[in-house]
Amino acid sequence: MSAPLVVSGLRKQFGRLRVLEGVDVALDAGQVTALVGPNAAGKSTLIKSILGLVRPDAGTIAVLGETIGADPHYRRFIGYMPQAARYPDNLTGDEVLALLADLRGGQAPHDHALRASLGLTAETLARPVRTLSGGTRQKLSAVIALRHEAPVLILDEPTAGLDPLTSSHLKELVRQRAASGAAVLLTSHVMAEVEELADVLVYLVDGRVRFSGSLDELRLRTGQRRVERAIAHLMREVA
């Protein structure tokens, strides 16, 4: 059985700027894959390509064994949590949840336990989005990403702006989803978070994958036990 998400030979160029240069990435079911790299490495363009927001110049992306094209139906198999989501300010949290469930083509799931675990009360969700703090909007994004139990989960800096307790709950939810068979792609600048959650690490620099393997393989290659130091070692290698 093929991996739920497979990226093969992906290339993207904006004008003269080459952003992705033949990227190959496969997300296995039941694993958390951390995508890391310096600024302007191509991480955002890779994620946008997977989501259909950027059209690659070459290469393929397959979700659940089907190569994606112009038809956006595959997106229902992906749960996505952006680093900083933007929702219509005039809608309440409940209305945002209902709207996005409708756009996904199905009834809003019974996600009360999920909302409660992230500290989203009925009173909070009845308020307009414009009145919610950044951390509360991040909780709302987490519910939207996790509620449909999609087989592919993409989390872009998921704990940014969250308090320690909510961050801990969210990381436990991510571990549970991976344990239940989801393929998870995580981006984070917090290496302690990567070390805590990731099974596999993909290191991207200048649009190229410079390392792809387990954390143990990373430690063996660099001779560093801590992931933060191992990544620093990789950065020196390719500098």
Tokens 């300010």 belong to residue: 89
d(CA 144, CA 122): 16
Hey, what are 10's tokens? 């992906």
Residue at 165: amino acid letter: L
As beta bridge partners, residue 34 has 186, 201
d(CA 142, CA 137): 9
Instruction: Name the nearest CA neighbour of 74 among 58, 63, 86.
Output: 63
Q: How many CB atoms lie within 10 A of CB 6?
A: 18
What pLDDT sits at residue 1?
Answer: 58
Hey, what are 196's tokens? 């805590």
Q: Are 157 and 188 in contact (CB under 8 A)?
A: yes
Q: Are 210 and 203 in contact (CB under 8 A)?
A: yes
- Show Cβ contacts of residue 8 under 8 Å, excluding neighbours closer than 6 positions: 24, 59, 60, 61, 62
Hey, what are 176's tokens? 């549970």
Hey, what are 215's tokens? 């954390």
What pLDDT sits at residue 238?
Answer: 74
In the chain the domains, ranked by start, together with CATH numbers, are: 5-238 (3.40.50.300)
d(CA 112, CA 213): 37
Residue 189: in which H helix or E strand, if any? none
Diameter of the chain measured on Cα atoms: 52
Instruction: Name the nearest CA neighbour of 218 among 233, 206, 205, 208.
Output: 233
- Show Cβ contacts of residue 193 under 8 Å, excluding neighbours closer than 6 positions: 159, 171, 186
What pLDDT sits at residue 239?
Answer: 65
End-to-end CA distance of the chain: 37
Based on C-alpha coordinates, what's the Rg of the chain?
Answer: 18
Q: Are strands 58-63 and 5-14 parallel, antiparallel or unpaired?
A: antiparallel
Would you give per-residue pLDDT tens digits along the chain (239 residues)?
A: 579 999 999 999 999 999 999 999 999 999 999 999 998 999 999 999 999 999 999 999 999 999 998 888 899 999 999 988 889 999 999 999 999 888 887 666 778 899 999 999 999 999 999 999 999 999 999 999 999 999 999 999 999 989 999 999 999 999 999 999 999 999 999 999 999 999 999 999 999 999 999 999 999 999 999 999 999 998 888 76
What pLDDT sits at residue 170?
Answer: 96
What pLDDT sits at residue 108?
Answer: 63
